[in-house]
Amino acid sequence: MRHASTVLSGTMARPRGARQRGESVQTLLAELYPNVVCALHHRNAYELLAATILSAQCTDERVNMVTPALFAEFPTPGDLAAADPDRVETLVKSTGFYRNKTRSLIGMAQAIEQRFDGKVPEALEDLVTVPGVGRKTGNVVRAVVFDLPGLPVDTHVTRLSRRLGLTRETDAVKIEMELNDMVEPQDRGNFSLRLIEHGRQVCDARKPRCHDCTLAAICPSATTFGTVAKSAKLAKQRVATKTTAVTKPAKKSSATQHRRGAL
Ligand code: SF4
């Protein structure tokens, strides 16, 4: 993986502030992940809505294993709107939270059938009125299927945009608004997909691989998780070890130790 310092020393100046950093992040991520695609298999907006509802607390791979049978049996919103909940529950059970998901799936299909003539609406204000569909899902459908502006903010986008210093917000809607200010409307969907990809491949929630990250040279958190942080941690550990050695109490009698061990 190419390190950001290579890029920065050539054509890109070190960014100042969130907005400039946002531009640099977009450029580097676009080089790193030029062709991003939605990982959920679908053939139309209805199928992507259903797959996104099923993806809550579940892997995309698992959802992709379940949806072929679901879409074969219920190919349109009209079919799913009239479905027997028990049958849908059986089909989606392995994705977890299957009762809630079944309610959302059937509710979604009924809303589309009854209020939108069987067609998934394009406007975000309409999409968020559909059961099981929030801003994130609505933006996914807008960006991926309708090719309209939409920047879905999931856990990866939240984590990376905060670590990269693009926002200090924790609320998904506020993060979306701040990122929208930095990203051109036509690029928002891909930017979200690229952040998600980088979150999965490099900037892990627990163990970000800053030493192998293309964005390290422009990421304010690289020092928190990277080598600087490691040295600081080691120094701290050395101090703690010395302190323990100086203040270590006299050895307890074996009877006391035995009592403590039993607690
Ligand atoms: S440098 Fe570290 S914290 Fe920053 S984006 Fe890369 S992996 Fe994440």
Q: Could you state, in order of their start, the residue ranges of all structural domains in the chain?
A: 45-144, 230-262
DSSP code of 250?
P
Residue 160 C-alpha to ligand 1 middle, in angstroms?
A: 8
The number of beta carbons lying within 10 Å of the beta carbon of residue 49 is: 27
164 close to ligand 1 (CB < 6 Angstrom): yes
Residue 204 C-alpha to ligand 1 middle, in angstroms?
A: 9
217 close to ligand 1 (CB < 6 Angstrom): no
Give, for ligand 1, the residue of 25, 194, 195, 213 to mutate: max count of ligand atoms closer than 8 Å to Cβ: 213
Q: Which atom of ligand 1 is nearest to the CA of 198?
A: 5
219 close to ligand 1 (CB < 6 Angstrom): yes
Structure-block tokens of residue 170: 């924790």
pLDDT at 227: 54
Per-residue exposure over 87-98, b if at least 16 CB sit within 10 Å of its own CB, e if not: ebbebbeebeeb
Q: Whose alpha carbon is nearest atom 8 of ligand 1?
A: 203
> 60 Cβ partners below 8 Å, 6+ apart?
39, 40
| Helix/strand/coil for 202 | coil
Q: What is the 3-state secondary structure (H, E, C) of 127-168?
A: HCCCCCCCHHHHHHHHHHCCCCCCCCCCHHHHHHHHHCCCCC
Q: Which residues of the chain have pLDDT under 70?
A: 1-13, 226-263
Q: Which CATH architecture has domain 45-144?
A: Orthogonal Bundle (1.10)
Q: List, as one string, the DSSP characters of 33-82.
A: -SS---SS--SSHHHHHHHHHHTTTS-HHHHHHHHHHHHHH--SHHHHHT
Q: Which atom of ligand 1 is nearest to the CA of 221?
A: 3
Residue 24 C-alpha to ligand 1 middle, in angstroms?
A: 14
- Name the amino acid, one letter, at 135: R
| Nearest alpha carbon to residue 38 among 137, 120, 176, 122 | 137
Q: Whose alpha carbon is nearest atom 2 of ligand 1?
A: 210
In this predicted model, what pLDDT tens digit does every residue of 159-194 receive, in sequence order? 999 999 999 999 999 999 999 999 999 999 999 999
213 close to ligand 1 (CB < 6 Angstrom): yes
| Nearest alpha carbon to residue 45 among 162, 140, 163 | 140
166 neighbors 194 (Cβ within 8 angstroms): no
pLDDT at 224: 82
Residue 97 C-alpha to ligand 1 middle, in angstroms?
A: 32
In this predicted model, what pLDDT tens digit does every residue of 193-210 receive, in sequence order? 999 999 999 999 999 999
pLDDT at 13: 64
145 close to ligand 1 (CB < 6 Angstrom): no
